[in-house]
Amino acid sequence: MADEQTPKLSFWQKMLAIDRRAIFAFIFVALIFPLFFEISQEIPVSNDVRMLHEALEAIPDGALVLYSFDYDPPSAPELQPMAIAVIKAGLRKKWRMVYIGLWPQGPIQCDMAFRDAMLDERFKDLKLTYGTDYVNLGFQSGNEAVMQRMGSDIPGTFPRDFRGTPVAQLPIMNGIRNLGNFDFLINISSGYPGTREWVQFGVDRFGLPMVSGSTAVQTTEVSPYVGRQLKGLMGGMRGAAEYEQISNNPGRALKYMVGQSVAHVVVIFFIIVGNIAYFATRKRNQG
Note the pLDDT tens digit of each residue in 136-169: 999 999 999 999 999 999 999 999 999 999 999 9
- The reply to whether 266 and 199 lie within a common domain is no
- The reply to whether 65 and 164 lie within a common domain is yes
Contact between 176 and 64 (Cβ < 8 Å): yes
Give the list of residues 6+ apart from residue 179 with CB closer than 8 angstroms, or none.
66, 147, 150, 151, 154, 185, 202, 206, 208
pLDDT of residue 232: 97
Estimate to the nearest angstrom the gap between the alpha carbon of 123 and the chain centroid: 21
Burial of 192 (0-12, 13-18, 19+ CB in 10 A): middle
Q: Is residue 181 part of a domain?
A: yes
pLDDT of residue 22: 83
Nearest residue to 146 (alpha-carbon basis) of 108, 96, 104, 175: 104
- The reply to whether 69 and 168 lie within a common domain is yes
Q: Is residue 263 part of a domain?
A: yes
- The reply to whether 161 and 102 lie within a common domain is yes
Contact between 188 and 69 (Cβ < 8 Å): yes
3-state secondary structure of 232: strand
Q: What is the CATH number of the domain that holds 132?
A: 3.40.50
How many domains is the chain built from? 2
Q: Is residue 42 part of a domain?
A: no
- The reply to whether 21 and 54 lie within a common domain is no
pLDDT of residue 1: 45
- The reply to whether 53 and 184 lie within a common domain is yes
pLDDT of residue 284: 63
Q: Which domain holds residue 277?
A: 2-37+259-286
Q: Per-10-residue mean pLDDT for the chain, 287 residues long?
A: 58 79 82 70 90 98 97 94 96 97 96 96 93 97 95 96 96 95 97 95 94 95 94 94 91 76 79 83 66
| Residue 199: count of CB within 10 angstroms of its CB | 21
pLDDT of residue 18: 83
pLDDT of residue 141: 93
pLDDT of residue 40: 67
DSSP states of 81-97 as a string?
HHHHHHHHHHHHTT-EE
- The reply to whether 153 and 274 lie within a common domain is no
Give the global pTM.
Answer: 0.83
